[in-house]
A and B are shown apart, each in its own frame.
Chain A
């Protein structure tokens, strides 16, 4: 599902009691997407998750946390957001699925366009938007009252967009994509919290994939994991990179250089407002950055 259908299409599910009377079934399989090599992001014309950010400033009440971001995030590629603590990386990420506005007093200026539609325009329902722009959090957060199976299907069940007969297939497909199927296929009824931390995080990725988003936001998804679990998550990102637009915030520069096609470097400026220093191909940012600040950060001189 893309934002266009989410906002205007027939299956733009109205917030209402879940029911099986949902008129238009949501396509379960993603639309076949052209295979694109990571270094050649698909052109915007082919759609499917390009994000264009213009003049974006983010506020918490009177405090400006991020200012004047101009950035284009290419579709079906991994964009890493790096920068020192407090530079607004996570805040910026959370403006892309409007999770940021859940904080009282939070607001944004500027535009964030997903495939040409400004996600902050009045006609966009943030609930619908979040079905297109999924999110994986820093700490694995499976629902503790739900089984592995129910965790994966939560996004569909709780939005009333499913046929019972389809759920088994969706669970298997989502868990396979999250590289977790073989480890959990025999214990789908066990609680999601019974898994190890790394497995829980992949379960959360499977949960995000189950609603078939176009964009996946990852907020330091491996920072709470051990090195082996981190490696598995990174491998997973590498596998998903051609099917989804992935934006990953990371503290870890090696991780950014390993998993991403593009890198955006943020830092904290005057009055503690974070801003985008530069963005470009990951190889270029890590070998030959344009800005002195970037070079200093990459080479470990601050941050």
Chain B
């Protein structure tokens, strides 16, 4: 029993190691500065993944701009103001939303932000990513607000500070490290999402700077598209992009988790 459980435990950790190993082994050689700085050639094969890098760097922050206020305020509502029943309903919905297949979120956004305009667009991509991020931000924020000692709320209210100001300047401020953790994890999650973008941002071989009404590329889309081509050079580019994406996501995750190990509240 013990041996079987140990084997299973090993299998839990092994995929991470394996993924790291394979992506690094194949990706490092394909990774170069050109991959980040150069756009794909308009004709033929070659160039880099700048279209994807630039796209991810635009769509993810816009998604965060939508998701963080919604997620944080939603968490404030269920942690500070809602009665127990409505808090439970909202929490349940958020938890289910985390489990909804992300391609369905893509299709859902497609029907009301792409179909009406007859145009795949980056804004729809950001909205789809925001839908992925919202429950992550909300649940981590809620957790961190629950960790804020009630004594601090009382101290503030007893000074004659209005409830809204108490939430803003004492509760949210004290829970800020946890909120930042949740936001960073949500960002890392959104950076790696492919399916929600397939029907929304679509992807593009052109570096799209700032035109959210048109298609835009993203790193996972770049990997998806290039890995499918019957051309070694493009497959190599996919590996390089995969390595880059893995590196960024890994750094965010490790940094955030190391920080929250080091300190709890305060």
Q: Is the beta-carbon distance between B265 and A144 smaller than 8 angstroms?
A: yes
Residue of A nearest to B161 (CB): A158
B170 sits at the interface (CB 8 A)? yes
Q: Is the beta-carbon distance between A208 and B152 smaller than 8 angstroms?
A: no
What is the size category of the interface that chain B forms with chain A?
20 to 34
B21 sits at the interface (CB 8 A)? no
A91 sits at the interface (CB 8 A)? no
Q: How far is the CA of A13 from the CA of B260 in the complex (A)?
A: 39
For B266, give its contact among A127, A141, A145, A207 (CB under 8 Å). A145
Q: Chain B contacts of A177 at CB under 8 A?
A: none
Q: Is the beta-carbon distance between B154 and A211 smaller than 8 angstroms?
A: no
Q: Is the beta-carbon distance between A141 and B155 smaller than 8 angstroms?
A: yes
A134 sits at the interface (CB 8 A)? yes
Q: Is the beta-carbon distance between A137 and B160 smaller than 8 angstroms?
A: no
A15 sits at the interface (CB 8 A)? yes
Instruction: Flag B141-184 by CB within 8 Å of A: 1 or 0 each.
Output: 00000000101101111111111111001100110100000000
A102 sits at the interface (CB 8 A)? yes
What is the size category of the interface that chain A forms with chain B?
20 to 34
In the complex, how many angstroms separate the beta carbon of A119 from the nearest chain B beta carbon? 13
| Chain B interface mostly | helix
Q: How far is the CA of A299 from the CA of B166 in the complex (A)?
A: 44
Q: Is the beta-carbon distance between B154 and A143 smaller than 8 angstroms?
A: no
Q: How far is the CA of A143 from the CA of B174 in the complex (A)?
A: 8
Q: Chain A contacts of B151 at CB under 8 A?
A: 137, 139, 141
Q: Chain B contacts of A159 at CB under 8 A?
A: 159-162, 165
CB interface residues, B 238-265, toward A, < 8 Å: 265
Q: A141-B149, A141-B151, A141-B155 are in contact. Are A15 and B160 (CB under 8 A)?
A: no
Q: A141-B149, A141-B151, A144-B266 are in contact. Are A18 and B165 (CB under 8 A)?
A: yes
- Supply 29 A–B pairs (Cβ within 8 Å), ascending by A: A18-B165, A97-B158, A99-B157, A127-B157, A127-B160, A127-B161, A129-B160, A130-B157, A130-B160, A137-B158, A141-B151, A141-B154, A143-B170, A143-B174, A144-B152, A144-B174, A144-B266, A154-B156, A154-B159, A154-B169, A155-B159, A158-B166, A159-B160, A159-B161, A159-B165, A207-B155, A207-B159, A208-B159, A211-B159
Mark B residues whose CB is within 8 Å of A: 83, 149, 151-152, 154-166, 169-170, 173-174, 176, 265-266
Q: Nearest 10 pairs between A and B by C-beta?
A: A131-B160, A155-B159, A135-B158, A144-B266, A141-B151, A130-B160, A15-B162, A158-B161, A141-B155, A145-B173
Mark A residues whose CB is within 8 Å of B: 15, 18, 97, 99, 102, 104, 127-132, 134-135, 137, 139, 141-145, 154-155, 158-159, 193, 204, 207-208, 211
